[in-house]
């Protein structure tokens, strides 16, 4: 998928969103340990020049150790905040795994969404009704499926193929040049909002590996829904042969 903010007709590929944060070496610690039966440890502190070369070696001072401990505490606190809800847990949350990479499963009821398409599809951008959806995401990847009603899913709820472009037969979304930008300190709400925003604010462009997610023509379906503003016709959905419990 392509970010909506990119110019559709641009021949220059903007890859700035693919760049990560650049870190520069500022200092280094070297730990020395004696070979004695009761070993002793000595820590040496090095400053780093602009080329990353160590200089100004000296024993680690108390203040330097305190500053290091403070930075480690801040980092640890951010990691503990990852996927922590800001308040009462919303009823649309189905599963949370707040380990390092994270994983959240949630659902959204049917409703109106703004949709964007590349020009080659000849589908006008605009609002349309979409079915209830089930989302499964970690920091880097998103899977999405359709549901045939707005009821809260349970483990045995059947999942349908999401009726969108850029989604393969296993439910995985091809985000293309879109960077998820999930922060290590993202709250549960921020995590969900970021994924939903990235999905619906990117341009749909193609069917994945000739996977047609509906019974019928996907292009014509979205042309009609945007033109007529009718409720999404759930009878075009195709079963994925998966249930919610397969994602847990």
Q: Is the pLDDT of residue 69 over 80?
A: no
Looking at the domain assignment, is residue 145 inside a domain? yes
Which among 136, 98, 128, 96 is positioned nearest to 219, based on CA atoms? 128
pLDDT of residue 138: 95
Query: pTM of the prediction?
Result: 0.73
Q: Is the pLDDT of residue 18 over 70?
A: no
pLDDT in tens, 78-132: 556 889 999 899 999 999 998 888 999 999 999 999 999 999 999 999 999 999 9
Total domains present in the chain: 2
Q: Is the pLDDT of residue 14 over 60?
A: no
Looking at the domain assignment, is residue 207 inside a domain? yes
Pick the last residue of a domain from 57, 81, 105.
Answer: 81
pLDDT of residue 193: 96
Q: Is the pLDDT of residue 19 over 50?
A: no
- Fill in the DSSP letter of residue 167: B
State how far the Cα of 52 lies from the Cα of 47, in Å rounded to an integer.
9
Q: 196 and 180 in one domain?
A: yes
pLDDT of residue 186: 92
Q: Look at 16-25, 55-64, 79-88, 102-111 and tell me which has the smallest mean pLDDT.
A: 16-25
Q: 215 and 96 in one domain?
A: yes
Q: 73 and 112 in one domain?
A: no
Looking at the domain assignment, is residue 15 inside a domain? no
**Which domain range does residue 211 map to?**
84-246
Looking at the domain assignment, is residue 4 inside a domain? no
DSSP bridge partners of 3? 202
Q: 61 and 159 in one domain?
A: no
pLDDT in tens, 189-234: 999 999 999 999 999 999 999 899 999 999 999 999 999 999 999 9
Q: 210 and 130 in one domain?
A: yes
Q: 101 and 198 in one domain?
A: yes
195, 188 Cβ separation under 8 angstroms: no
Residue 70 binned pLDDT confidence (cut-offs 50, 70, 90): low
Looking at the domain assignment, is residue 10 inside a domain? no
Q: Look at 67-71, 155-159, 166-170, 186-190 and tell me which has the smallest mean pLDDT.
A: 67-71
Looking at the domain assignment, is residue 203 inside a domain? yes
Q: Is the pLDDT of residue 10 over 50?
A: no
Q: Which residues are CB-contacts of 5 (< 8 A; sequence separation ≥ 6)? A: none
Q: 171 and 130 in one domain?
A: yes
Q: 143 and 65 in one domain?
A: no
């Amino acid at each position: 998928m392509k970010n909506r903010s990119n110019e559709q007709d641009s021949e220059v590929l903007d890859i700035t969103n693919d760049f990560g944060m650049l870190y520069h070496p500022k200092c280094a610690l070297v730990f020395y340990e004696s070979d004695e039966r009761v070993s002793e440890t000595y820590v040496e502190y090095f400053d780093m020049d602009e080329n990353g070369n160590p200089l100004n070696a000296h024993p680690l001072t108390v203040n330097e150790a305190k500053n290091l401990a403070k930075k480690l505490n801040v980092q640890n606190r951010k990691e503990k905040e990852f996927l922590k809800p800001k308040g009462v847990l919303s009823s649309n949350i189905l599963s949370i795994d707040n380990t390092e990479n994270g994983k959240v499963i949630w659902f959204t009821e049917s409703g109106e969404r703004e949709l964007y398409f590349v020009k080659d599809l000849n589908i006008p951008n605009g609002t349309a009704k979409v079915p209830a959806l089930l989302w499964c995401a970690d920091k880097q990847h998103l899977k999405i499926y359709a549901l045939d009603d707005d009821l809260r899913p349970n483990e045995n709820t059947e999942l349908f193929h999401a009726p969108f472009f850029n989604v393969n037969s296993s439910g995985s979304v091809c985000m293309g040049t879109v960077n998820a930008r999930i922060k290590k300190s993202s709250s549960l709400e921020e995590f969900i909002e970021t994924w939903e925003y990235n999905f619906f604010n990117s341009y749909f462009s193609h069917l994945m590996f000739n996977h047609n997610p509906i019974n019928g023509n996907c292009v014509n379906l979205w042309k009609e829904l945007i033109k007529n503003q009718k409720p999404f016709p759930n009878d075009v959905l195709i079963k994925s042969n998966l249930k919610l419990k397969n994602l847990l």
